[in-house]
Amino acid sequence: LQQTASSRLGFSPKRTMQVAQKLYEAGNISYMRTDSVNLNEDVIKKISGLVKKEYGAEYAEERRYKTKSKNAQEAHEAIRPTHARTASAGANPDEKKLYGLIRARAVTSQMTAAKTMRTQVVFVADKDIPNFHAHGTRILFPGWMVADPYAKQEDVILPKITQKEPVTVHDITSEGKETEPPRRYSEAGLVKELEKRGIGRPSTYAAIIQ
């Protein structure tokens, strides 16, 4: 939650936990200071039913997850909306954004996999101009992505085109590229590294980073 809220919403881990606390106190989400990935069976059935109703049976697939962390404390359920059918909740824009993220993740956790194809398109101009290449993904079946459209923005989605199909050039620009040093850690990156190394807990990441 902290990593995705940082990368998608620009929230610091501290801000994320403060907003989540408000959502929890208002009864909109389950307890948020947990690293559990488990949902109880009743919730899984309800989310699966919701997916079938909103997107169709071909998009529903009941899933049960196991944590990869050796020192995970799973006294609580995974973070989820109290009622998955509630599409929007929260008293202000921050709460509404974070609730939307939590709900999208809970719903997509019980959906079929997306089928994608990593590919490249080669554009041939003429014999005096080098070929141009576009690298990206073709979506063959959207699966869980229909409930989380933002996920598509994290990759280059290429359209379906046929071999030797003519294309029209709309604009050409050139830009210089220089080798740059490794990027500094974002707060999401720091949380990921803490998690990977087994340092701290989800309840302490915000305090550590601060």
Catalytic residue, from 24, 31, 55, 59: name it: 31
Adjacent-strand bridge partners of 120: 135
Phi, psi of 162 (to 5 degrees): -105, 160
Would you state the structure tokens that stand for residue 172, as one six-digit string? 């050409």
CA distance 159 to 179: 30
Name which of 110, 97, 107, 79 is nearest 8 in CA terms: 97
31 is catalytic: yes
Nearest 5 degrees, angle CA 177-CA 179-CA 180? Answer: 110
**Residue 6: CA atoms inside 13 Å, Cβ hemisphere, count?**
18
Catalytic residues, by residue number, are: 31
